[in-house]
Amino acid sequence: MSGIKLLQRYFKSICLGLLITGVIVTFVTISHLWSASKSPTDAYLVLGGSIRREMYMAQVASTLSPPPPILISAGSSDPCIRLLFEQVGASLDRVWLEHCAKSTFGNFVYSVPLLERWGAHHVSLVTSGSHTRRALTLARILFGARGIWVEPLIVEEAGIPGNQESVLKTTLDIGRSLLWAVVAQVHKPTCQRVVSLAAVDLAQWRQQGFKCEHQAGIEGS
């Protein structure tokens, strides 16, 4: 057998092996997602961008005893979130604030490792109506690749959001999410700026001064 034919056979074997592996991984992932979709919510992810989302999450958390872990990604100022939870008597102990994300894509990239560490399989995603389509699409790509089911919880907004959605923005985010779903199988960036809500020192923040969105009805210092 010539060297060229041997290389061709070797290449075909590799391609077949990759195809079979891909089919198996896809089948296993779909099975995990199906199972997770039937289970109760075991974590909440709140996307930053509007304090109304955190107001909504605080209300939900106040009805759960104890609530599942809650992750607020790139949200409002730390003391504002703490005051929102305190006002409705919600527990602070299972709420974390992630400060690394700078975009919706980043929200999910930094959230996945934390949610996996908590053993989450069914995540309720808290966002706004105008943001839901893009956010849910990215979440189902990036979380779905890790076998995590995502269910949207849509918060009603007042007025028109400043950050408008566009076809171009959505297309670009979907493209890099598909690529990242593959990369994330071997590389998972971790956020070193994750704060427990219970550890937020209101006295210190009052000395520094802070402001909250007027919709929350909270006065700073």
CA distance 101 to 122: 21
Percent above pLDDT 90 for the chain: 54
Instruction: Enter the tokens of residue 216.
Output: 């929350």
Confidence at 107, pLDDT banded by 50, 70, 90? very high
Q: Identify the weakest region by mean pLDDT among 11-20, 63-72, 88-97, 157-166.
A: 11-20
In the predicted model, is pLDDT for residue 179 greater than 80? Answer: yes
Q: How far is CA 47 from CA 7, 103, 199, in A?
A: 50, 10, 20
In the predicted model, is pLDDT for residue 134 greater than 70? Answer: yes
198, 67 contact by CB (below 8 A): no
Q: What angle do CA 32, 34, 36 make, to 5 degrees?
A: 65
**124 and 30 share a domain?**
no
CA distance 89 to 92: 9
Identify whether 221 is part of a domain: no
**121 and 148 share a domain?**
yes
**28 and 48 share a domain?**
no
Identify whether 179 is part of a domain: yes
**46 and 30 share a domain?**
no
**170 and 115 share a domain?**
yes
**6 and 92 share a domain?**
no
Identify whether 163 is part of a domain: yes
**49 and 110 share a domain?**
yes
In the predicted model, is pLDDT for residue 193 greater than 80? Answer: yes
**124 and 205 share a domain?**
yes
**10 and 78 share a domain?**
no
> For the domain that residue 198 is a member of, what is the CATH number?
3.40.50.620
Instruction: Read off the pLDDT of residues 142-178 as tens digits, 9 standing for 90 and up.
Output: 999 888 999 999 998 776 555 567 778 888 898 999 9
Identify whether 123 is part of a domain: yes
**24 and 51 share a domain?**
no
* DSSP output for the chain: --HHHHHHHHHHHHHHHHHHHHHHHHHHHHHHHHHHHTSPP-EEEEESS-HHHHHHHHHHHHTSSSPPPEEEES-S-HHHHHHHHHHTT---TTEEEE----SHHHHHHHHHHHHHHTT-SEEEEEEEHHHHHHHHHHHHHHTGGGT-EEEEEEEP-SS--SS---HHHHHHHHHHHHHHHHHTTT-----S-EEEGGG--HHHHHHH-----GGGT----
**108 and 210 share a domain?**
yes
Name the domain count of the chain: 2
**105 and 165 share a domain?**
yes
Determine the structural domain holding residue 8 and report its residue range.
1-38
Closest CA to 71 of 122, 111, 100: 111
